[in-house]
A and B are shown apart, each in its own frame.
Chain A
């Protein structure tokens, strides 16, 4: 019995490779806070990913618990931060974009399900002070929220 020809194997693998290159995006930051996003039905897709800045809020991951405890923390880029750092973060994000694109920038809040609203309210106030008014509450998409 002749062996199966493997001549087409590289082609198949390349096809897979191109699929993944096209359909995925680069992981930019390591997320150090817990992220179990809430679910919603009325979601909108975030367009123009390059104009979106992310603020992560959640309990620190287990590796950081000894250092930071279990109170929810804010993460900007790769670091833990406080609400006082948000103004500088937004300014930095604006600096990195073209001036004409600044009005279309959006801040995506990736907040863990179990975080209390206090810290979220503080972040929202900081964003208002920094005049970054377009926000998006990041959620998963489900058919019904009453399951």
Chain B
């Protein structure tokens, strides 16, 4: 009958929503976490004798960074700008040169018999190296692998590595496996 239920006043709704909004603005962050992912080698077993696998000199690409953030590539002073191209040339060894890594023919899905280079990149830093420089070097080495994988994927499948399906990615990865080995840290060059 005549009884009218009074409506709940909604004038303050906006204020309440504003308050919630401000709370979320203050208490949360927008940043997406991203970075360069790596897998550390497990600690060497102390009981087991060191069966030092001898890797041939030609298969190792030594990169050293000293405490003054200077870069030494295969014993020569080098600019960071050239590191990516030198690493790419080393990893792929396109002209089968004798001082670059040897290749072993292996059966790879989608590719058939494919010569895979036995490359290892050895990265060594001093305790005084700045973290910024270290990340730049890691970035360039990663970029070398990523570019080679992309080039191979484009050649074979006409798509970039990221757009391949899982088994195709595995095949490309088998041809260019990322092998960045970091030396056991030791005191080099003071600081």
Contact = CB atoms under 8 A, between A and B. Distances in A.
A6 B14 contact: yes
A64 interface: no
B40 A116 contact: no
Contacts, number: 151
A20 B131 contact: no
Q: Which of A10, A21, A146 has the most CB of B within 10 A?
A: A10
Given A42-B146, A43-B34, A124-B40, A13 B14 contact: yes
Given A10-B14, A42-B143, A136 B127 contact: no
Contacts of B18: 13
Given A14-B17, A20-B25, A45-B32, 12 more contacts: A17-B24, A20-B21, A40-B135, A40-B138, A40-B139, A44-B37, A116-B127, A124-B40, A137-B36, A137-B138, A138-B33, A138-B34
Interface of B: 10, 13-14, 17-18, 20-21, 24-25, 27-30, 32-43, 67, 80-81, 125-132, 134-136, 138-140, 142-143, 146, 185, 191
Interface of A: 6, 9-10, 13-14, 16-17, 20-21, 23-27, 38, 40-46, 49, 52, 106, 108, 111-118, 120-122, 124-125, 127-129, 131, 133-139, 141, 145-146
